[in-house]
Amino acid sequence: MRSQLPRLKASLIVGKLVTLLISFLLILVLGEWLFPKFLDKLPLRLYGSIDKNLRILAQSSKKSTFPHEYIAIVGDSIAVGAGDWLEEVRKNSFFGSPDYSPAHLIYEKTGIDAVSFGQGGVGSFGGIWKEPITQFLYINSVKNYQLSPPKYLLIFFSESGDIYDNVGFLRGKLLSIQKGSMKKKTELNEVLTHLNHEFKKVLDGDYDKSLWKNMLFIRSIFKGVLNLVEEFASLNKNHPFLFSFPKTPINLALINGKQTPLPMHLQGPSLFATNFNERLIVDDSIAKEFYITEEEYKLGLYVFEQALAALIEFFPQTEIKVVFNPSPLSSYQIVSPKVSFRGYMQKESLVDTAIIKKRHAKLCEAIRGISLVRKVSFLNTTKSLRKAASQEFMHGPADWDHFNKAGYEALSTYIAETFLKSGAGVRTDNCVY
């Protein structure tokens, strides 16, 4: 009898292990079946556990998991909804996916499904082409998933960083600065060849339908654990840019009829010098790093135009609108003769206010002109944002690189109004205020 006890105990242990294994497998099977059905109910805090290319399906700015005849927003961190509002939502919301972005506000104001393909820290190639097309193709490669092309597409152009990001994109491959000037003049056909190669890489990406790729629930658990480890490892390592207010009469804006100081080192329109001896800033010693060249500026615009052209070709039936979003400095009525400006490569200096205004107008007209050539609508949100900014801050109080809730409200209200107005066709705003 005693000799049978070890066998009995071993049999019980094996039985329990088998039961646990079967239960675990059943949970995984059930999870895989239920995961797609509840993806759009996932709390915002758990977005990090989702495959990045599937996150638009979790967004709550639509009536169902898969949007129908929807508005797609593409671009940089403004398209994502980055800023103080998002950070507040992340900190205070434990359940659900509260409003925090232009997509939510546009959906709320128009009743049209709206999703964001946006990605922070990218220029025109990444924001207009790579991220949205990769996500679109990836979703449609998942078993039983079908995402239709958007009915409307909003291209968010950021005055603050898109040209700089485009120049950075090209500098890494084609451009080289040596002793204050370009080593050689870069031909447009050289840039176009490079861009076409990069466009094709996205189309030829890995969109296979392997078993592992389609195990969405299991992968989300695995990725969620990895993200938690990475988050823990990165604690106290990231230090955001700190904004301070000036002690001298610079960065003064007219708000509620009063001259109100804005923080120092705000982002503005891309600055360029026709040559590196052009005195546009106080400290000439950093001019070579602070500015991009005029040639680079034009090439940055060219990258935007080609990314726009590629997107038009990919979504031929989609109504496309270019949305020009002003930089923080361009969002306010600046009344001081000089402003503290943060330019290319995060370099900081004092700049004449008149130069900021001149460069803003030049860039706005350039993007407007490209939109006209490509026969797409051009929406300029600057006037609406300046009107709102005459009453309150549109940025901050912590993050002045992105809009706050009031800023996103002003931005989205203007965009929504264009959808609610009767009449179709190409809309072209001007750059005069």
Other Cβ atoms less than 10 A from the Cβ of 160: the count is 24
Q: Are residues 385 and 314 in the same domain?
A: yes
pLDDT score of 182: 47
Q: Are residues 29 and 160 in the same domain?
A: no
Q: Are residues 306 and 207 in the same domain?
A: yes
Q: Are residues 242 and 383 in the same domain?
A: yes
| Domain assignment present for 350 | yes
SS3 assignment, position 259:
strand
pLDDT score of 283: 45
| Domain assignment present for 107 | yes
Q: Are residues 306 and 335 in the same domain?
A: yes
Question: Which one, of 412, 327, 404, lies nearest residue 86 by Cα?
Answer: 404
- The number of folded domains in the chain is 2
Distance of CA 310 to the CA centre of its chain: 18
| Domain assignment present for 430 | no
d(CA 333, CA 89): 29
| Domain assignment present for 431 | no
Residue 15's domain comprises 1-40
Q: Are residues 29 and 169 in the same domain?
A: no
CATH number of the domain bearing residue 266:
3.40.50.1110
pLDDT score of 250: 85
- Identify the bridge partners of residue 281 per DSSP, sorted by sequence position: 351
| Domain assignment present for 425 | no
Q: Mean pLDDT in runs of 10 for the chain (433 residues)? A: 61 71 70 70 74 86 93 96 91 77 95 95 95 94 90 96 90 60 66 92 83 69 62 47 71 94 89 51 46 85 97 97 96 93 71 91 97 96 96 94 96 92 77 78
Q: Are residues 322 and 411 in the same domain?
A: yes
Q: Are residues 92 and 163 in the same domain?
A: yes
- Rounded to two decimals, the pTM is 0.85
d(CA 78, CA 133): 18
Q: Are residues 56 and 21 in the same domain?
A: no
| Domain assignment present for 66 | yes
Q: Are residues 212 and 114 in the same domain?
A: yes
| Domain assignment present for 432 | no
| Domain assignment present for 60 | yes
Q: Are residues 199 and 288 in the same domain?
A: yes
Q: Are residues 362 and 244 in the same domain?
A: yes
